[in-house]
Each structure stands twice: as C-alpha cells, then as structure tokens.
Structure 1
C-alpha cells in the first residue's frame, strides 16, 4: 500500500507538470525593461555611464567643450568649426547671433601654456547651419 501511494504521488506530480507545460501556465511574463539608473551628478559627464536610449537627454554640456561661452542661442546638434584668434571671438559670436546661428567658443588648452593666458578659441556652431556659419566666420575674419 505504501508503494502504491508513492507511485500515485509521482504520477500526479508528472500529470501536473504536463498540464502546466501544455497550458503554458508556468510561462514567465517578460518583465518591462528596467529604467536607466539615475546619473550621479557628482561625476563629470565624461565619466558618467551613458545609456544609448536617448543621447539628446544630456544637452549642451555633454556635446560641447568646457569653459566656453555661447551667444545665447540653442541647438540640438553641434559641429566643430574654426579655430579663432582671441581678439576675434566676440565679433564672430556677435555676427553669428545677428544671423540667428547658435555658436559656442571655448579656449584651446595647449600643453605647457599658462591657463590664464588668452589664446585661440575653438568655435562650435549649430550643425544644421554649419555652411552659413562658415560664411559668416570668413566674412568676420576678412574684416580684420
């Protein structure tokens, strides 16, 4: 009698497993993707992990070099432009602002130079108006 109970218990367990597999009751539902972890604000943008979900979420601070200044207009995408002499940066930024072209100028960091010394600046402009920006920069530099 004891042996019969064991066999019946095994059969009922096997029957439950077969029914579960056939009906798909044990199928696990796929979990929704986990949200990207909150970025630690104490890290500089270059050290912070960047998920590839939305590269536009970081904005200007992620796309442009540090220690620069803009002309007050915003752009979604930026492209590097010319290297300007320090005395022509303000005139170039004003001309680009007058044309409605977003611009950003950042000082070039050269090894061995004093950081307080003013030197050339790299110019970044809105990617969708890069050709127009180049024309404006050439016109401003020709006036000098």
Structure 2
C-alpha cells in the first residue's frame, strides 16, 4: 500500500484563501478560485510555520496527498529561476520550486512549490485528512 505525504499551505492575512477544509477532512476550492491561480504549498512544517509567523491573521491548511501525486510533482518540478524560458516548464504547467534560498538559509526540511492548474486542482481533489492549524 502506498503512503501519503503531508503538504501545508499558509492562508489568510496577506495570502489568498484558495482552499477550504470540509468537515470530512477533504478539500475544496474557494468560489473565488480561477484557473490562472497558482497554489503555493510546501512539505516539511518549518517553511509553513515561518510564513505563518510573518503574516498576521494567517493559518496553515495541512493535508495528506497520495505518494504517487507527490512523486508526479517532485519529478516534474523545476526551479523558479529561469522558469519562463525553461523548455521543461511544459507550457507553464510544470510545478515550480520556490523559496529555495529560505530553505538553504534556515536549514528547513522539505520543499516549497508553486503549482499551476491542473496540478493545483489535483492536489485539492486528492487531499485528505485536512485540518486547520491556527
């Protein structure tokens, strides 16, 4: 049986509230969602805690996704540096690795991604065990 990988997103404060946690632990998109919205998420809790502490009135949405979805994201992700001109961006649908400097500076575990559509929608569709961390 495949495992899960925990993802986190900081919302509220200066960050758009793009995903909602349902009573059953699943996720749904906020009605303000647009296909051109990218979803910023991270693995490892240090990064999300860092940004939550920098943004007043923010909170963390924590949820699990299947290992195969994390594998797909990780295997196709490219750096934000030179993203627009990188042919591996797959028409700007490839996941973008962001905030690498913050991970390096503070020794955070995990990785931060900016996920375009349709990957962002898949994350919401397959997200489970979601909870809010205030």
TM-score range, shorter chain: under 0.3
Q: Determine which structure has greater relative contact order: mean sequence separation of CA pairs < 8 Å that are 6+ residues apart, divided by chain length.
A: 2
* Richer in helix (by share): 1
So what's the TM-score if we normalise by structure 1?
Answer: 0.25
Mark the structure with the bigger radius of gyration: 1
